[in-house]
Structure 1
Amino acid sequence: MKTINTVSKCLLSIVIVTSALLPSGSISAAEQTKAHAASASQPQTVTANTSSRAQQLAQILLDKYGVTGVQYAVMDHGKIVLSGSAGTSGRKGNSKIGKEDMFGIGSTSKMYVTAATMMLAEEGKIDIDRPLTDYLPEFKMKDERYKQITPRILMNHSSGLYGSHYGNSILFNDNNTINRDNLLPALQNETLKADPGAFSVYSNDSFQLLELMVAKVSGQSYPQFIQERISKPLQLKSTLTPLDQFDRSRLVKTYFPTLTDKALPVENTNIIGTGGVYSTAEDVVKFAEVLTGQRPDLLSTASTQAMTRPEYRSGMWVSETSNIFNYGLGWDAVQLSPFDRYGLKAVSKGGDTLMYHASLISVPEQRLSMAVLTSGGSSMYNEAVASEVMLHVLKDKGTIKRILPDQQFPAASKIAMPADMKKYNGTYGTVGETFDVQIRNGKFKLATQMSGMIPEQQYIYAGKGKFRSEDGSALASFERQKNGHTYLKLNAYLNIPELEQSQMALYVGQKLDKQTLPAAVKKTWQQRNGKTYYNTDEKINSGFYLIPTEISKTIQADTSLGYALGTKIVNANKSVNIMQIPVMSGRDTFDLNFSRQGKTEYMEINGQSFISKDAVSTLPASSSSVKVPADHRAKWMKLDKKTASQKINVTLPKGAGFVVYDNKGQTVYSSVVNGGHSTKLPESGMIVFGGKAGDSFKISLSH
């Protein structure tokens, strides 16, 4: 599962939405006033058409978006007015999902630690504008600017932290807190990527720090705080964490596409403040009553209004107001598209773990909230479903008169492009990659964005410094921001087939300045280019072993410019992050540090070690043994034609396991998931054995 130089300390500040802020194609101010006045103060019955459409949308998620289970609920004025599900729980007999079946809610969990922080502030135990170190003195960093970080800055994603320490955070059948326990020691050796408060970039580590602060200040464990201060007063029977004791069979099963139909083991997202809460759709919308000021016994209206303040505007941000990302405190959006088209202020928070996904949307003025939880898919899909159903409910209530059609940017006649636009040609970077922009004859090509929701296509000059995409879904432009960097910006309508359209404005690349590398440095990085490095620190029951791009890194170095994986090369063994891009594309930054132990080269990212494939030996084609090296948790080996199609049988030490990948990098077997110790090996690829340092594996091969 993204700004504060000047911070208002007034908890009563409210954003007033006026007709002047409404985009083209929105409902008029007079029409809004009449419709909003007609809205009942008490919930009205959801129509059969709306109920049917909700179920239809849930089925679309199952049929077309990789979802295996869906659960949703709508709360209106404190009453559940719609609740449903689709798919199966994965238990014996493929039983249908019920109201009490639970899902991981990923980063929607951030709203719980945000609420906890605001509760402590109301009690006078913390001041959200005082340094975090006042309440968590153990928090230290190599960069002295860390002393400027406050709880507010953590909640609005403007801390300047690199982003996320994911190592050993999502574990199967394992609620080990190694990630949480190692966060503060890891941060002691790290720097910030920006001044605290300069701009908002999504930061998971920020909410881990809030979790630690809540526990320290309250004198309770964080799960205890949730249970006593949130779940008990609200009578939430299904809002729990990996550290709570409960029947794990209540969790809806999840599945991974490249393995068998066997369900994955229980997923524990052990970064609880960031994304570790389990819940149900009905529990989530009940909790939303707290977030929208309807439970002043738990959290005051002043605090909840402060949480919906447009924190993102205080620093560097895209100029567009219609967006699905515009941060408040905890909230991903405090003026969510497409609700702004109707003159409505909606807030949202999405969340994704490895296989669970969640979306919560609330319209505070209407006391209306909806949650959509899924196994498989994406929180973006969940948000699109929730948006459409919410609009239907608002129409049923008379709050809005009609549901507006999808939009696209109008076609423009061919306009001659000013010659100085070519100054934007060059190489742009985002986290993990670089790409070229070459404007020729008023056109340039841009690769797929937003996981395919914005397709690869040409962008054609349309006047006033903007380029319109061929399909009309996006406008591209170039902006020089106050930090001195030039950015490629997209303002796009997100069109997910058969789901509700939304709008998003974001920076997708930062223009990079060329730097000349010394010959020896250049040669070293050229030798690394294209080489893959494999994680040696991740526990073998980590969910990240199912996603090769998370468990390994392939170096892409452009030595003519002086960059590698979007980082700036400093010397032969180090490159550093320079990305300062708001919204999603700038999250989870890293430095690259290389070292050698004898002839073996290692790469370190965010405290985790990766071994070069050059140092990885090939699995023998006969019986053998493998030992996990000292200070490692994993031993990687190559597969070749000699072992192709042979059956491998592994004697596993307690708690150990192995994972097999084919030559395309796809996971084809996991002893942790498949529950065995033997499989047929692919023609080539990789195999990793994992356990404790020193664990020995006995291996036999047979045809």
Structure 2
Amino acid sequence: MKMWKRMSAGVMAALLLALPVAEEAARASGGSAVNDLTGTKARQLAEVLVDNYGVTGVQYAIRDEGKVVLSGGLGVTESGSKTPVAKEAMFGIGSVSKMYVTAAAMMLADAGKINIDEPLTAYIPEFKMADERYKRITPRMLMNHSAGLYGSHYKNSMLLDDNDTGNHDQLLENLRSQRLKSDPGEYSVYANDGFQLLEILVERVSGMSYSEFLARHVGEPLQLTSTKTPLDEFDRGRLYPIRFPGIAGALPPENANVIGTGGVYSTAEELTLFAEVLTGEKPELLSAASASAMQQPEYRRGVWVKDKTNTFGYGLGWDSVDLAPFGDYGIKALTKGGDTLMYHSALIALPEEDVSIALLTSGGSSVYNTAAATNILLAYLKQKGDIAEILPAPTFSEPVKKDMPDRLRAYAGWYGTVGSTLRITVDDGEVKLPALMGLIPEQTYVYTGGDEFTGADGRTVISFDEQTNGHTYIRVKSHLEFPGLGQAVMAYYEYQKLADNPVTETVSKAWKERNGRTYYALDEKINSLFYLSPSVLTKKIELNEDGGYANGAKITNEDHAVNVAEIPVMNGRDAFDLEFFRKDGVEYLRAAGRTYVGEAAVKPIYGGDSSIVTIPAESGGARWFKIGGEAAGRTMTVDQPQHAGFVVYDAKGALVSFSAAGGSRTAVLPEDGLIVFGGRPGDVLKINMTAESK
């Protein structure tokens, strides 16, 4: 590529800084530092991630035919200085953990202990749901995301320095009252709960805890010293530090207590070693037949977009078994990305070449990691001579509008995804959509032929797809551009067309009274990372103009609304129903396994010099308060029990103070802000208020 002429001085400096890392990697692989384009590329992209994508630490490794040929890392301190990241530093790998539980299930299949196409109930007899179709769910459907589960139970799943197993222990009970959103096997949509069920499956069949199974059947044979779960004993000081804007110093260790779906810690080098299990290079652990089965295009068993090369093309466990742009070179590429709240990961494996790359970060996103890892891997393949040249990225131009067939006007109407509805007009050859995935800008799409509409950016195309299940979806295909990192191809369904849902006057009145009200979660532990942003722990009720849908859910009576969005993959993966109830004159909401209290019960915090807050003895959890004029501007100091704490937000929802994260028990209270106190049942927190010091 003609890259040198286009480089800024900053990028040139980054490349110069990369040379020591390139030399070290070249020595390890027996190559030449002068020709080590891969090491240079890796360091360059690590710099981009740190400088532009909110990343505070990067670690990467490439393994080729069993040998590590590149290993490095770059971090940034709180003061802003850059420093190497040791290869022994451990990161949370998020949903790449799904590959471990998938492999574990396939190991049991190799041993003849399970059949992945038999009903799950054969192995977990106590698994029941409020939907008779659950009896048809198989382990295969869990691994390829087609079981029809609503998605995720996140309550108390992401905790600071706390390996509470409550989320795991309560999953089967939580699922008992939940229905399915589709027929098992109908289509594949990301579902974290499926891999939690796989974790339970492994435990039931093997007779040991899942952490013990991983240690015995993966860790010990591969001699892994850095692949652990929150339930393992290991030096937490080895975890790469996590930081959050506005909180001084590193946060306590993050525990993703949903181990099967996202709780494993590892290093880039050990992750590439495990990749050899997944690609059939370790048949003593996982048979080549099972590894091959995991690589098949499972997503094509059901309803899905027609595009083959895609970030979303599920195998068993894998996010995609046809990752772009490797197919353009005749190379099969598998990928799995992972995100906790603070850690992010990408694993790409080329099974026919026996090459893999892992790129782990603190901060950022797995989407960015995958883009960076893709381009590092392409540089390595070129350096080896496996590909002659790196193909230029596609370019795009402003679309040329054509005359739209009148029949497409029929697609106008209400569309929904989980959490929201949208009225879409199809007129004069134009469709306007809001921002998509937080990555595609709000724009107007114009008709460009072939029943497709193209955005002003030229790189995003939408269409209205009528699928075999009777629903109409808005299909989106986009070449996402990440400046300095590269591109990613995504094709997926974003919105589902909604049928009219007329409701009675009585039902309409009940929901109109709730419209615009906010409900606050009561059962999240106060050391939960979800408190870093209150949006996860609050729900604001929003009706569509017709009054038949609330937060994308179909209203069925005065107190219930049920999810109808099925396939939308980005905003539809974690569906929920809305169920309201009243106790002692207070209205509550149940949704997605959590209980929320209405804003009418959230009172102003007492602004006097001293007061107490007691955590409810019957349930524990959280109590929310508003910050009124009497308390605004005062300095609050809290004397609290060991497991109690508080979080303060300003009027815009920005974090002001988080005792479990920063350790401070003092905060200046912002006007019109919020405070949430939490602890164990019966805990008493003593509050003192003083005037803000000048």
Length-normalised TM-score, structure 2 = 0.93
AA in 2 matched with 1:185: E
1:141 Cα offset (Å):
1.1
Matched, 1:620 2:609: no
Which residue of 270, 279, 282 maps to 1:292? Answer: 279
State how far apart, in whole Å, the 1-side matches of 2:238 and 2:78 are: 10
> 1:275 is matched by which residue type in structure 2?
G
- Distance in 2 separating the partners of 1:364 and 1:198: 28
Q: Equivalent residues in 2 for 1:263-662 (5 A)?
A: 263-408=250-395, 413-451=400-438, 453-558=439-544, 560-622=546-608, 623-629=610-616, 630-662=618-650
CA contact (8 A) 1:409 1:468 kept: no
How far does residue 561 in structure 1 lie from its aligned partner after superposition?
4.5
> 3-state DSSP class of the match of 2:667?
strand
Shift, 1:394, TM fit = 1.0
Equivalent in the alignment of 1:678: 666
Deviation at 1:412, TM superposition (A): 5.0
The structural deviation recorded for 1:276 is 0.2
Q: Structure 1 residue 251: deviation in Å? A: 0.3
Describe how 1:16-27 pairs up with structure 2 within 5 A: none
Partners of 2:99 and 2:106 in 1: CA distance: 10
- Equivalent residue number for residue 101 of structure 1: 89
SS in 2 for 1:176: coil
Are 1:223 and 1:243, in contact at CA under 8 Å, matched by a contact in 2?
Answer: yes
The aligned counterpart of 2:166 is 178
Q: Deviations over 1:379-406 (max 9, x none)?
A: 0000000000111111112221111112
Counterpart residue number, 2:206? 218
**For 1:366, what is the secondary structure of its paired residue?**
coil
Shift of 1:440: 2.7
Instruction: Give deviations 1:220-264, integer Å, cap 9, x for gaps.
Output: 11111111111111111100000000000000111112x223211
Q: Per-residue displacement from partner, 1:430-450 (whole Å, max 9, x unpaired)? A: 111112211232112111112
Give the corresponding residue for 1:690.
678
Structure 1 segments of 4+ aligned residues over 6 angstroms from their partners: 89-95
* Residue type of the alignment partner of 2:203: A
Distance in 2 between residues matched to 1:299 and 1:607, nearest whole Å: 35
The residue identity in structure 1 corresponding to 2:406 is: A
Matched, 1:84 2:76: no
Paired with 2:331 and 2:535, the residues of 1 have a C-alpha distance of 40
User: Structure 1 regions of 5+ residues with no counterpart?
Assistant: 1-42
The 8 Å contact of residues 638 and 686 in structure 1, kept in 2 or not, is answered as yes
SS in 1 for 2:571: helix
Gaps of 5+ in 2: 1-28
1:36 corresponds in structure 2 to none
Q: What residue is the counterpart of 1:200 in the other structure? A: 188
Aligned to 1:205, the other structure's residue is in SS state: helix
| Alignment CA distance shift 1:411-1:606 (3 Å) | closer
More off after superposition, 43-52 vs 347-356: 43-52
Q: Distance in 2 between matches of 1:153 and 1:374?
A: 30
Q: Contact (CA 8 Å) 1:317, 1:582: kept in 2 or not?
A: no
Q: Is contact 1:524-1:572 (8 Å) kept?
A: yes
Query: Is the Cα–Cα contact under 8 Å of residues 44 and 397 in structure 1 kept in the other structure?
Result: no
Q: Is the 8 A contact 2:401 2:429 kept in 1?
A: no
C-alpha distance in 2 between matches for 1:300 and 1:252 = 33
| Whole-Å separation in 2 of the counterparts to 1:267 and 1:512 | 39
- Residue 244 of structure 1 pairs with residue 237 of structure 2: no
1:522/1:559 contact within 8 Å kept: no
In 2, the alpha carbon distance for the partners of 1:320 and 1:508 equals 15
Report the CA distance between 1:88 and its aligned residue. Answer: 4.5
CA distance in 2, matches of 1:90, 1:329: 40
Deviation (angstroms), 1:668: 1.0
Equivalents in 2 of 1:144, 1:401: separation in Å? Answer: 55
Cα deviation per residue 1:20-67 (whole Å; 9 max; x = unaligned)? xxxxxxxxxxxxxxxxxxxxxxx8848422211110100100000000
* Aligned CA distance change for structure 1 residues 65 and 412 (closer, same or farther; 3 Å): closer
Paired residues of 2:160 and 2:527 also in contact (CA < 8 A): yes
Q: Which has the higher contact order (CA 8 A, sep 6+)?
A: 1
Q: Deviations over 1:609-655 (max 9, x none)?
A: 00011111110110211112232411111002221111001110221
Per-residue deviation, residues 506-559 of structure 1 (Å, max 9, x unmatched): 111001111111111111111111111110000101111112111111111125
Give the Cα–Cα distance (whole angstroms) in 2 for the partners of residues 430 and 638 of structure 1: 31
Q: Which amino acid aligns with 1:467?
A: F
* Residues 92 and 224 (structure 1), Cα distance of their counterparts in 2 relative to 1, 3 Å cut: farther
SS in 2 for 1:118: helix
- Is the Cα–Cα contact under 8 Å of residues 399 and 456 in structure 2 kept in the other structure? no
Structure 1 residue 676: Cα displacement = 2.1
Do the aligned residues in 2 keep the contact of 1:507 with 1:585 (CA within 8 Å)?
A: no
Matches of 2:349 and 2:242, distance apart in 1: 27
- Does the Cα contact within 8 Å between 1:89 and 1:252 map onto a contact in 2? no
Letter in 1 for 2:464: F
Q: Is the 8 A contact 2:398 2:456 kept in 1?
A: no
- Aligned partner of 2:528: which letter? S
Is 1:71 matched up with 2:71?
no
Query: Shift of residue 461 of structure 1?
Result: 0.6
Distance (whole Å) between structure 2 residues aligned to residue 696 and residue 234 of structure 1: 49
Q: Distance in 1 between matches of 2:351 and 2:329?
A: 14
Q: Give the partner amino acid of 1:248.
A: R
Q: 2-side partners of 1:237 and 1:657: how far apart?
A: 35
Q: Secondary structure at the match of 1:557?
A: coil
Matching residue within 139, 162, 184 for 2:150: 162
Q: In the alignment, is the contact (CA less than 8 A) between 2:417 and 2:568 conserved in 1?
A: no
Distance 1:176 1:624, change over 3 A: same
- Counterpart amino acid of 1:320? D
Counterpart CA distance in 1 for 2:389 and 2:79 is 41
Distance in 2 separating the partners of 1:127 and 1:555: 44
Say if 1:94 and 1:419 are closer, same or farther in 2 by CA, change over 3 A.
Answer: closer
Please give the alpha-carbon distance, in whole angstroms, between the structure 2 residues aligned to 1:241 and 1:89. Answer: 26
Structure 2 residue matching 1:458: 3-state secondary structure: strand
Cα distance change, pair 94–341 in 1 and its aligned pair in 2 (3 A): closer
Provide the residue aligned with 1:40 in structure 2: none
Cα RMSD (Å): 1.6
**Following TM superposition, by how much is the alpha carbon of 1:208 offset from its aligned partner in structure 2, in angstroms?**
0.4
The count of aligned residue pairs is 659
